[in-house]
Amino acid sequence: MPVCPTPEQIAAAREALVLLDPALAEAHARLPVFEWRLRTGGFEGLFRMIVEQQVSVQSAAAIWKRVVEGLDGELTPQRVLATPIEALRAMGLSIQKATYGHEIARAHVEGRIDFDHLERLSDAEAVAKLVAIKGVGRWTAETFLMFCEGRTDVFPGGDIA
């Protein structure tokens, strides 16, 4: 089960970074210690992450709500695979995101990814497993590991936001 770092651990890590790179001292002094935001993981977490990408926070929330309602709250790989792409599109997903939802579900059903045992893999191994799924890039994989799996030694570089 993923565990979030405490505010004290985050503060200590920030202080260690300042010692490594004094250029970070100003940012460290101005910005408060943040709380780690752990999100739902597993298939649901990765599917939601795909759904939420490249749209506003409000749009993402509205689309996700329609997906949850459209699937009757059954956010499982089996249910998503049993739902035609066109039905997912009617819930607000683009054809690409609906297809990626199917790809993630298929990878789980076929045993190419085991969300229940990702913690057994190193960060590099977990990223490799995730990016092997069509529609999951490195940024998504690292973000998933960080915020859904609670891993502190990964960081999603190259964010366009």
Catalytic status, residue 159: yes
User: Do 9 and 33 form a contact (C-beta atoms < 8 A)?
Assistant: no
- Of 21, 72, 153, 159, the catalytic one is 159
Nearest-angstrom CA–CA distance, 92 and 50 = 13
Residue 74 token pair: 């059954």
> Of 147, 145, 144, 143, which is closest to residue 158 (Cα–Cα)?
143
Where are the alpha helices (H) located in 21-156, listed in sequence order? 25-30, 42-52, 57-70, 77-82, 85-90, 95-109, 123-131, 138-147
Place of tokens 């190419």: 112
Annotated catalytic residues are 159
